[in-house]
Structure 1
Amino acid sequence: MNYIEHIGKYFIMLTQVFKRPQKGRVFYEALMKEIEELGLKSLGIVMFIPFFIGGVIALQTALNLESPFIPDSLIGFAAKRSIILEFAPTFCSIILAGKVGSYITSSIGAMRVTEQIDALEVMGINSLNYLVLPKVISTVFFYPFLILLAMILGIFGGWVAGVLSGLFAGVDYVEGLQTTFNPFLITYAMIKTLVFAFLIATVPSYHGYYVKGGSIAVGKASTQAVVWTIILIVIANYFLTQMLLT
C-alpha cells in the first residue's frame, strides 16, 4: 500500500471516528479511562523532564554569555522564549508520542489480532468511534494543561539551576522573564499543542486498528506509529511556525 492509499484510509477512518456515540454512558466511562491512561499517567514524565531541561537551557545560556556588556537578565529571556516556543509544545509532544503512541497502537492492535474489534462490529457497534474518539478527546483537551505545566516547570528549573550554580542571580533571571512578554507566544504554543495532540491520538490509532498478523505485527505497528507520529509532528511544527510567526 502506497502513501496516498494510507492517507486516504486515514481520512476515511476519521469520518467514522467523529460520529455521534451510540451510548452516552459507555462513552463517558471510556473517556474517563482514557483521561487517566493518556493524561494523568503522563504527569510524571511531563513534570520530571522539563524541570531539568529548563535548568540545562539556563546554564548553557549563562555559560555562553561571555561578554560583560550582555546583562544576566538575557538568560531568563532566552530560557522563557526557548521553553514556551519550542521545548514545551514540541519536545514534550515528541516524548508523549513515544509513550502514549506506543500504548494506543498496542492496545488497539491487541484487540484487532484477538478479534475483539470484529466482535464489536458484529454487535453493531462503531468500533472506531468507540475506541478512538475517547482517545482523541482526552488528548486534545488534557494535553494543553500538561504543556502549560511543562512551561512552568521548565522556567522554574532554569531559576533553580541559576540559584544553585551561582552563575546568575535569581532576581536577574526573573527580570528577564518579565522583559517584553508577548501573550501570543502562549497562544502559538497552545495551537501547536492541539495539532500535536490530535496526531498523537489518531496516527497510532490508525496503525493499531489496521494491523494484520499476530503479536509481532503489533510490535512492528507500534514502532511505525511512533516514528510516523514524530515525523508528522516535526513537519506540522515547521508549517505552523511559518503560518503563525512569519
Structure 2
Amino acid sequence: MVCLQLSNRQSGYISPVIDLAKYALIGTLVVDVKEKGWVMIVEQIGASTIATVTETGQFARFIWRSAKSSVSSVFRGKTWPLVFTQMLIIGVKSVPVIMVTGAFVGMTLAFQAYDQLAGMGLGEHIGILINLSVVSELGPVLSAVMLSGRVGGALTAELGTMHVTEQIDAISSMGTDPVRYLVAPRILACLLLTPVLIVYADLMGSFGGYAISVWFFKINSQAYWQFTAYGVTLWDVMVGLTKGFFFGAAIAAISCYKGFNCKQGAQGVGQACTEAFVVSFIAILALDFAAAIISKSLYSIFYPIRSLI
C-alpha cells in the first residue's frame, strides 16, 4: 500500500480509494461538529431554563419575606420613623418630576387630538379624551415609569452598595432581620405614596390639556370641564389610583431584590440598577394590562355601558 501511494504521488494519479477515505473523514467531522452544535444549543437552553426557574424561586421567596415583614411592620411603632424617612426621599422629592411629566402628557394629548376631533365637529369634547386617557392609563403608567427610573435606581444602588460593602451581613450578624429593617420601610413608602404622586400627575395632565385647549385652540372653558365631568367617572379615578398601589409595591420589591442580590464591585451595582429598571418597566406594563382586563370586566357588571360622545 505504501509503495502504491508513493507510485501514485510520483505519477500524479490519485487513487479512488484514498479519495473516498478523505471524503468519509470530512463527512464524519461535519456530522460531529453538527452534533456538538446541537448539544451546545440544548445545554444553553437547559442552563437558561434552570437559571430562570432558580431566579424566579428566589424572587418569590424574597417577596414572601418582604410581604410578611411589611404587614408586621405596620403594627410596629419603631418601623414608622424609617417609613417616614423613605417617604421623604421617595415621595416628596419626586413631586416636581411627576408634575412636569403629567403637564407635558396633557399638553401633548391636546395637540395630537384636537385636529381629529375638530374635523368631526367634536372639538369641545377634547376634555373627555385628555382626562380619561390621563386618569385611567397615562398618568398611572408614566408616573410609575418615572418612579422606577428615579426611585428604583436609587433603591437598587443604595442596597447594592450595602451588599457589596457587607453592611447587610453586619446587620444580620447583630440579630436584626435586614428585610424587616431595610426592605419593609421602602416597600411601604412606595406603596403608600405612588397613588399620591399619580394624583399630582393627573391634576397636572388635566390642567396642561386645559391650557392648550382653551388658550391655544380657543375651546370654551365651561365645555371643557363639562364634558370632562361627563366622561370621567369616579370609577376611572379609583382604577388609576388602585394601579398605583400595585405599581409602587412592584417597583420597590424588584429594586430591593436586585440590590440585595447584586454582583460584587461597582460594575455589579450598575448592572443591578439597569436590570431593576428593565424588570420594573416590564412588570408595570404587565400589571397595567391585567388591571385593564379586570377593571373592564368589573365595570361591565356594575355600570351600564354608555357612549362618551
* TM-score normalised by the chain length of structure 1: 0.93
Q: What value does the CA root-mean-square deviation take over the aligned residues?
A: 1.7
Q: Relative to 1, partners in 2 of residues 1:85 and 1:190: Cα closer, same or farther, differing over 3 Å? A: same
Indicate the percent of aligned positions where both proteins have the same amino acid: 25
- Displacement of 1:25 after TM fit? 5.6
Q: Could you tell me how far apart the structure 2 residues matched to 1:182 and 1:175 are?
A: 12
CA contact (8 A) 1:16 1:126 kept: no
> Paired residue for 1:11, among 60, 67, 70?
60
> Could you say which residue in structure 1 is the equivalent of 2:148?
97
**Equivalences, count:** 244
- Displacement of 1:164 after TM fit? 2.6
The ranges of structure 1 where at least 4 consecutive aligned residues each deviate by more than 6 angstroms after the TM superposition are none
AA of the residue aligned to 1:51: A
> Paired residue for 1:40, among 88, 92, 112?
92
Q: Could you tell me how far apart the structure 1 residues matched to 2:295 and 2:214 are?
A: 35
Q: Could you tell me how far apart the structure 1 residues matched to 2:269 and 2:231 are?
A: 49
> Could you say which residue in structure 2 is the equivalent of 1:130?
181
Alignment gaps of 5+ in structure 2: 1-49, 298-309
Residue 234, structure 1, aligned to residue 308, structure 2: no
Residues 1-246 of structure 1 aligned to structure 2 (within 5 Å): 2-17=51-66, 18-19=68-69, 20-21=72-73, 24=76, 26-67=78-119, 69-246=120-297
Q: Could you tell me how far apart the structure 2 residues matched to 1:16 and 1:65 are?
A: 51
Q: Could you tell me how far apart the structure 2 residues matched to 1:105 and 1:141 are?
A: 19
Partner of 2:279, secondary structure, is helix
Give 1 or 2 for the bigger CA radius of gyration.
2
- Displacement of 1:187 after TM fit? 1.7
Q: Could you tell me how far apart the structure 1 residues matched to 2:236 and 2:249 are?
A: 20
AA of the residue aligned to 2:290: F
- Displacement of 1:136 after TM fit? 0.8
Q: Could you tell me how far apart the structure 1 residues matched to 2:232 and 2:81 are?
A: 41
- Displacement of 1:143 after TM fit? 1.3
Q: Could you tell me how far apart the structure 2 residues matched to 1:224 and 1:54 are?
A: 30
- Displacement of 1:172 after TM fit? 2.4
- Displacement of 1:171 after TM fit? 2.5
Q: Could you tell me how far apart the structure 1 residues matched to 2:161 and 2:138 are?
A: 33
Partner of 1:96, secondary structure, is helix
- Displacement of 1:161 after TM fit? 1.3
Partner of 1:195, secondary structure, is helix
CA contact (8 A) 1:73 1:174 kept: no
Q: Could you tell me how far apart the structure 2 residues matched to 1:77 and 1:180 are?
A: 5
Bigger RCO of structures 1 and 2 (CA < 8 A, at least 6 apart): 1
Q: Could you tell me how far apart the structure 2 residues matched to 1:178 and 1:24 are?
A: 42
Alignment gaps of 5+ in structure 1: none
* TM-score normalised by the chain length of structure 2: 0.75
AA of the residue aligned to 2:143: C
